[in-house]
Structure 1
Amino acid sequence: MHRSRLRNKLAEGRTKVTSRVSERAKSLIPVEIDTGTDKCMMCKRKMRAHRRGAGDGRICSPACAQAWAAS
């Protein structure tokens, strides 16, 4: 093989790897959820949003879970 062909092949491999790395990095960025803030059922403390959907029935701590089970 000619040297320039090897250089072109190497450059193609680099760009291919670079594009895969950037695609992987974009997939790791968390998805923004516009459902507002979730709240604990017992103490109404704000909680972080999660990917599973609506925030109905969420508990923030073991103490709130025990209070909810007792009620």
Structure 2
Amino acid sequence: MSKLPDLSEAAKSEVIEMALSDHIAFADIKKQHGLSEKQVKELMRENLKPGSYKAWRKRVRTFGSRREHYK
């Protein structure tokens, strides 16, 4: 996996909050924090409970297939 940059706890929390939002794309997270989609997924995997991570990934995949510019 790609190496995650050192982020403050506040920055990690902000990235997680942004990623959990259905209205913020991975591109927006990349612009603001410099993390790729792969790095965001890695951060989420490390910081969410396994069931929460799986539910989030399922939601991102489901909406992503329905909307061209989702996440």
> TM-score by structure 2 length?
0.25
Q: Which has the higher strand share?
A: 1
Larger relative contact order, structure 1 or 2 (CA cutoff 8 Å, min sep 6): 2
Q: Return the TM-score normalized by structure 1.
A: 0.25
* Higher Cα Rg, which structure: 1
